[in-house]
Structure 1
Amino acid sequence: MASEITPITMPKFGLAMTEGKVAGWMIAPGRPVKAGDELVDIETSKITNAFESPASGILRRQVAPNGETLPVGALIGVVADASVPDAEIDEFITRFQAEFAESNASAKGEETAVEPTLVTVGTHTLRVHDLGMGDATPLVLIHGFGGDLKNWMLNHAALAHGRRVIAFDLPGHGGSSKDVGPGTLSFFADVTVQLLEHFDLPKVHVMGHSLGGGIALTLAQAAPQRVASLCLLAPAGLGPQVNMAFINGFIEADRTRALQDVLKFLVHDKSLIGRRMTDDVLRYKRLDGAQAALQTVAAACFPDGRQGDDLRPVLDAAPCPVTLLWGEEDEILPVTQADGLSASIARHVFSAIGHMPQLECASDVNGIVETFLTQHDH
């Protein structure tokens, strides 16, 4: 069925064009369009041109809203026949964006490609990816257990318009050094403070996923003056339950097939966990010290197969604005852990989405987060 789906991508109107802005859609979602019909106005630094639809069908999605600036080749819309199910459209969008982000980041010679660098922070060497600039309050991204900064590949650049956005590999993860000390949330929160000091960032927005959400909450408790707001995606610390089949399976898996099966716990759409992603994770796991680091973190954060930190009081008493995002089909941390929290906490629950909404419904997450950050910039 995917052959019946036509991606509408940011066009390249000239040799020097690297990005364009969606100036205005001419066709509403759900309306028919013929090949050659003017579909959307695209604005560049030099001109504004109407982009014509490459295919006939129904405009099923406007992936990029009016006003959004994206690189050439990025997905901005989808045209397909009315018979193609909505779920298949959503899967197509997620896969396209994941593949585009990966190819865009790895492309050589691209002006927009900014490679991660190694930074010495205290006794640690951290792999850091620093994008964007502007007057808006900076944003720091904290990934979860077993992850790395690539977990934000569909969000990092999208959020870095007029704002500095820093992603980094936690100690024991990715390209960072493998000493995790006691492996506690407090340890990782302290390392994050050291990173902020290194970059001379007195106050930042913090976006944390899973274990990274628990670290973000711990950071807000320990250094409230440094946290402008919290964006928490399926954060740790809000209930005792955790899928130990994932935690233990991730630590123990040493072959591609076994690890791929474990990684599928992370998403509702299992087709997103491909061979390339699995091999990337396996390479990291085989680095000296990586497995021992994961074992230390798991023992500290998930003793006796349960979450060891109760951060619900911290969240309810958070000294800053908080928004919470969770997939309804989360198989790692159940979405019910978001129940019963303070009414002041904005909650967004995504249907048919698993533990990684930043991957499975990146456009929705980016839109919610961008609006939230703008409201709470200092």
Structure 2
Amino acid sequence: MKASRRVRFVDVHGHRRAYVLTGHGPALLLHGVACDHTTWDRVIRPLSRDYTVIAPDLLGHGQSAKPRADYTLGGFANGMRDLLSLLEIERATIVGHSFGGGVAMQFAYQFPELTERLVLVAPGGLGPEVSPIIRAATLPGFEQVMGVLTLPGIRQVNTVGLRIAHAARLPGTRDIDEIATVYDSFRDPQTRAAAHHVLRAVVDRHGQVVTMTDRAYLTESMPLCVIWGAEDPIIPASQADTVAELAPGARVEIVEDSGHFPHRDHPEEFLRIVRDFLASTRPSAYDRERLRHLLRTGAQRPVRRARAGQRPVAPLTG
């Protein structure tokens, strides 16, 4: 399959969905979350030399529609399944960043027969810790306050100030350029409303409220790679220790001198890790009996309890 790298559109359940489709070979699905598909700009072209890359804007993000709709992890996973079906793609390696890691894990839990591998980049769901900025975005009045902060003039001054602080490498400004891009997008009322709904499903004022810890044993049948920036200010990289404890077979890579976006900070290192992971693992073969065995034996194992402030959820989430 070959396609040019341009944004395409398809209607799913009456809502416009934007995505990039390019390359040839086994399918690699990248989730565009918090920003949109452009967050993957530095890695799409190199990956498309060996893989069919699908980089969607999830509902409520980027150029996709932003209706009042289901913005739960399960809803997003269903949307990914439907998009793959419309594109006539049978199976894919799923790459998810941040909240998209949760969508990726949800997708793998709901549709293991469609999932070959998982690559999670700075995923949520491994501990309650999360940036105060994210917690603030879940509070009542966020949309109204952001509506004022993104008025013409105010928005331009703040955006320029954030980018100058990042360029000067001031303390605490890691990833502030990416945050500035997200902030600028909130000038659109539908975008900030969708972001508010998305975040409230997984975060409250105390931090993250969903966890993957109670169902992590299911990754035994799924090749899993977790990539984290050592200086992540959004979700601390220390949470990667939980991956090693819960999923001993997973590959965990910490990228030095990188924040919440290692695929943008160090694209060559990110590409090296992903390519090596893909080359050194075999696609998961869905086995219903194996899944039943894991569920039976997993239920009898000591389960690491969610930390204070988190709740287990029925699907495996990241």
For Structure 1 versus Structure 2, the TM-score category normalised by the shorter chain is: 0.7 to 0.9
Distance apart, 1:285 and its partner CA: 2.4
Q: Is the contact between residue 93 and residue 118 of structure 2 (CA under 8 Å) also seen in structure 1?
A: yes
2:200 corresponds in structure 1 to 299
Q: CA offset at residue 310 of structure 1?
A: 0.8
Normalised by the length of structure 1, the TM-score is 0.63
Q: Map residues 81-230 of structure 1 onto 2, 5 A cutoff.
A: 114-134=5-25, 137-145=26-34, 147-179=35-67, 181-230=69-118
3-state DSSP of counterpart to 2:21: strand
Please give the alpha-carbon distance, in whole angstroms, between the structure 1 residues aligned to 2:263 and 2:172. Answer: 13
Cα distance in 1, alignment partners of residues 105 and 179 from structure 2: 29
Cross-structure match for 2:237: 335
Give 1 or 2: higher strand fraction: 1
Instruction: Sort the Cα spacing of 1:306 and 1:247 in 2 relative to 1 into closer, same or farther, 3 A.
Output: closer
Give yes or no for contact 2:174–2:259 (8 Å, CA) kept in 1. Answer: no
Measured after TM superposition, the shift of residue 180 of structure 1 is 5.7
Letter in 1 for 2:223: P
Displacement of 1:116 in angstroms is 0.7
Q: CA deviation at 1:166?
A: 0.5
Query: More relative contact order in 1 or in 2 (CA 8 Å, sep 6+)?
Result: 2
- State the SS of the aligned residue for 1:155: helix
Deviation at 1:189, TM superposition (A): 1.0
Q: CA deviation at 1:305?
A: 3.6
Which consecutive unaligned segments of at least 5 residues does structure 2 have?
284-318
1:245 to 121, 129, 133: 133
Residue of structure 1 in register with 2:302 after alignment? none
User: What's the offset of the Cα at 1:212?
Assistant: 0.4
User: Is residue 2:238 matched to residue 1:354?
Assistant: no
Query: CA RMSD of the aligned region, Å?
Result: 2.8
CA distance in 1: counterparts of 2:135 and 2:46, whole angstroms: 30
Deviations 1:9-37 (A, max 9, x none): xxxxxxxxxxxxxxxxxxxxxxxxxxxxx
Structure 1: 5+ residue stretches without partners: 1-111
CA contact (8 A) 1:246 1:262 kept: no
> Are 1:233 and 1:325, in contact at CA under 8 Å, matched by a contact in 2?
yes
Matched, 1:289 2:190: yes
Distance (whole Å) between structure 1 residues aligned to residue 160 and residue 235 of structure 2: 19
What is the count of residue pairs matched by the alignment? 261
Find the residue that maps to 1:191 and give its secondary structure.
helix
In the alignment, which residue of structure 2 is the partner of 1:310? 211
Q: Which amino acid aligns with 2:278?
A: L
**TM-score, reference length from structure 2:** 0.74
Amino acid at match of 1:203: R
Question: Is the Cα contact below 8 Å between 2:33 and 2:99 reproduced in 1?
Answer: yes
Q: Aligned equivalents of 2:27 and 2:118: distance in 1? A: 12
Once the two structures are superposed, what CA deviation does each residue of 1:298-350 show, in whole Å capped at 9, x if it has no partner? 21121344212211233332231000100111111111211133210110011
1:320 to 215, 219, 222: 222
Contact kept in structure 2, 1:173 and 1:284, CA below 8 Å: no
Shift of 1:293: 0.8
> What does residue 34 of structure 1 align with?
none
Larger proportion of helix: 2
Query: Is the alpha carbon distance of 1:257 and 1:310 closer, same or farther for their aligned partners in structure 2, counting shifts above 3 Å?
Result: farther
CA distance in 2, matches of 1:364, 1:188: 29
CA contact (8 A) 1:329 1:352 kept: yes
Q: CA deviation at 1:153?
A: 0.5
Give the superposition deviation at 1:197. 1.0
Give 1:257 shift: 4.4
Deviation at 1:278, TM superposition (A): 7.2
Question: Mean Cα displacement is larger for which, 228-237 or 182-191?
Answer: 182-191
Return the index of the structure with the highest Cα Rg. Answer: 1
Q: Is the 8 A contact 2:98 2:123 kept in 1?
A: yes
Task: Give 3-state SS (helix, strand or coil) of 1:153's partner.
Answer: helix
- What is the identity, as a one-letter code, of the residue corresponding to 1:287? D
Is residue 122–residue 194 contact of structure 1 (8 Å, CA) maintained in 2? Answer: no
Identity of aligned residues (%): 28
CA deviation vs aligned residue, 1:191-246 (integer Å, no higher than 9, x gap) = 11111111111210000000001110111111111110001100111111211324
Taking the aligned partners of 2:181 and 2:261, their CA distance within structure 1 comes to: 17
1:289 partner amino acid: Q
Partner secondary structure for residue 220 of structure 1: helix
CA 245–278 in structure 1, closer or farther in 2 if over 3 Å, else same:
closer
Q: Is the 8 A contact 1:208 1:233 kept in 2?
A: yes
Q: For residues 99 and 70 of structure 2, what CA distance do their matches in structure 1 show?
A: 15
